[in-house]
Structure 1
């Protein structure tokens, strides 16, 4: 049996997550599920919860890799919870577990995950109009190494389609 594609959706936690960001993340999660890919998130609130909710409504499998050591802290839409106990270091685990990454808004924690994915040359798509790190780093490289260009999209579906195309086997 072939390994299922794993797509990480990252962005704002509860703090700063607007209804518009939740809708964008929900739609992205649903498209991930409909592509028969596994959704990975940081397992908590905001974008992570909305994406997981969308993936569940789309009939998909969801994994939440949380920074705490208590699985009960994950959002209710996570099928599989990995309580890393690693604190913010779990950002690298999230990025390395993914075949590709989609960014919806986001602050410094999101940037940490973008940097980890970038260093390991994972394809990264952003939703350009979602603000935060997604808008700031759309359509550019993070540094002179030009490991992978971060590509911005106007819709969650286009971002998911890009990751699917970049991660075909």
Structure 2
């Protein structure tokens, strides 16, 4: 049996079933599950629910990292294993720690923080190199602006000379990027 490979997916809690962002995340979950990845998310609604649902529909395993901090939020029904943390910060770093790779979907300030933390940890080699994809062009303006500062700079950082974040055209492209970097080594 292959060792479990976990992909953490970040995204907004706002989308509902039938919304384009929800269905995109559900498609991503299905693609990840089909490729044998376990899916980890923040465990609540929106993108977190959709990606977990898609993974379960494809026969995959799901993890939800929740926090006591979010008292009103409920665990989505597609989670197999809840990992409960006390604080927002503990939850964030557990989402990062558990993962072998990452995908960021469209999101708000929480997703922006998650994207920035993972990108910085990769950039400064705080963690080993792990594949990271964003879906579509939503995050592209931020990536491009930061890269203007980083690229070509005489520094040892990873983003100074390469691309640490893959911009995926679709959920399938994001899944293929993870397969290429995690399963075809």
Is 1:146 paired with 2:158? yes
Q: Find the residue that maps to 1:44 and give its secondary structure.
A: coil
Aligned length: 165
Structure-2 separation of matches of 1:21 and 1:136: 19
TM-score, structure 1 normalization: 0.85
Q: CA RMSD in A?
A: 2.6
Structure 1 alignment gaps of length 5 or more:
none
Per the TM alignment, residue 115 of structure 1 is displaced from its structure 2 partner at its CA by: 2.5
Structure-1 separation of matches of 2:101 and 2:141: 19
Structure 2 alignment gaps of length 5 or more:
122-126, 151-156
Per the TM alignment, residue 140 of structure 1 is displaced from its structure 2 partner at its CA by: 8.0
Q: Find the residue that maps to 2:60 and give its secondary structure.
A: coil
- Aligned in 2, Cα 1:45/1:113: closer, same or farther, shift over 3 Å? same
Per the TM alignment, residue 44 of structure 1 is displaced from its structure 2 partner at its CA by: 0.5
Structure index of larger Rg? 2
8 Å contact from structure 2 (residues 15, 22) kept in 1: no
TM-score, structure 2 normalization: 0.78
